[in-house]
Amino acid sequence: MALEKTYSMIKPDGVRNGHIGEIIARFERAGLTIERMELGMVTLEQAKANYAEHEGKPFYEGLIKYVTSGPVVKMVISGEGAVKKCRSLMGATNPAEAAPGTIRGDFGLVMDENVIHGSDSVASAEREIGVFFA
């Protein structure tokens, strides 16, 4: 595996429910490095840029409203195979299908508020890092 950078974001429900510390600890225990981190709001422009591939889908408007509804933790994470490692730690997108021991399996309650976002490829990570840490 190669040294990679990826983007991850603890979503408003993860922040609101007090899971920031445990989520960061899971990344660090997996041998990943948090290179940059910021607590803040996602702007409407950032949300639309990040989720542009979903525009026009039935859940798009709700997703944009949700991700801009409260503070998030934006992170640049690096390490060997960081994209795949982060995706594995997060678990399935639907918390009901996420394995116990994954972030979504342990903290996610519903599909619409699934605690965390993570880039799905190195190319997506580069784009998303540019959106949130321009």
Residues assigned a catalytic role: 117
Helical pair 20-29 and 82-90, crossing angle rounded to 10 deg: 130
Cβ–Cβ under 8 Å, residues 87 and 93 = no
Strand ranges (DSSP E) for the chain?
A: 3-10, 33-40, 72-80, 116-118
Identify the three-state secondary structure at position 9.
Answer: strand
